[in-house]
Amino acid sequence: MFTYLKAWFHVLLFLFKMSKKPAPSAVKEEDLLKLDLQFFADDDPEDDPEDDHEDDPDDDVPNLDELLKDPKFKKQYNAKLKDQLGKRMSKFKDVDPEEYRRLKEQAGDKKDKKEDNAGDDAARNDQNEKRLLRAEHREKTALVKEFAVDNGHNPKLLARLINIDSIELDEDGNADNLDELFEELEEEFPEYFSLQDDDDDEEDPPKKKSRFNSVPKQKTNPKKKVDPHEAGRQKALERHQKKEDKR
């Protein structure tokens, strides 16, 4: 009898366990639902792997405010900070604060004064350069006027027409290219600088009329007009030829 009851109890226990066990189809469906469907999705080319917050190194950096809430850490932090501050202050142990402030102000004043002196030197150099240019211009103008007087020209007119800045001076202060500049100017303005022949400049003395003139007057050929441009060109050529002969 006892054996029969024991066998019957085992059957009931087996049936109870089978009733709680899910069906095979349900287990299979449950296992499929647990699978992440995004695993089979294609990667988005626009996704930047660097934007992944899980790999952000800043996430691993602890927050100082949160760490200071820990009494032990706060005590260690204050001790470390005090030690570093003490090392820095030890450098200024024997330094008078007032003396240090005064020396610092003097260093700043020296720097500002040095910058001001540099600006003054630049302005002074600029003024000296302008003075030298004005003196050189006056010297060249004097050479032009002297050249005009020596060659029988109007010195003021020549000084106005010629390019003073184009004159080149040698080591002795003499003009190297004044003759060439004058020749160019003479060819351009022959009416101002062309010289007529001495025979043309001298006026013929008036002839006395004779009461008795048996010979009839003959017509003389009219005097040819001198082209000022051609006369200037000829004079320039003659002057150039004279210079070549001197060499």
Q: What angle do CA 98, 101, 107 make, to 5 degrees?
A: 140
Distance of alpha carbon 240 from alpha carbon 236, whole angstroms? 6
- Residue 59 counted as domain residue: no
- Residue 234 counted as domain residue: no
Distance of alpha carbon 132 from alpha carbon 52, whole angstroms? 73
Among 9-18, 66-75, 151-160, 197-206, the least confident range: 197-206
Pick the closest to residue 193 from 224, 156, 235 (CA basis).
235
- Residue 9 counted as domain residue: no
**What's the domain range around 175?**
135-192
Q: Which residue has the higher pLDDT, 117 or 163?
A: 163
136-192 pLDDT, tens per residue? 899 999 999 998 899 888 999 988 988 998 899 888 888 888 889 888 888 888 888
- Residue 214 counted as domain residue: no
What does residue 191 show for φ and ψ, rounded to 5 degrees? Answer: -70, -15
- Residue 155 counted as domain residue: yes
What does residue 151 show for φ and ψ, rounded to 5 degrees? Answer: -105, 10
Task: Give, rounded to a whole angstrom, the gap between the first and last alpha carbons of the chain.
Answer: 161
- Residue 166 counted as domain residue: yes
- Residue 211 counted as domain residue: no
What does residue 93 show for φ and ψ, rounded to 5 degrees? Answer: -65, -45
- Residue 143 counted as domain residue: yes
218-236 pLDDT, tens per residue? 555 555 555 666 666 677 7
Distance of alpha carbon 74 from alpha carbon 67, whole angstroms? 7
Q: What angle do CA 139, 143, 146 make, to 5 degrees?
A: 135
55-64 pLDDT, tens per residue? 555 556 777 7
Q: How many domains does the chain have?
A: 1
4-37 pLDDT, tens per residue? 666 766 767 777 676 655 555 555 555 555 555 5
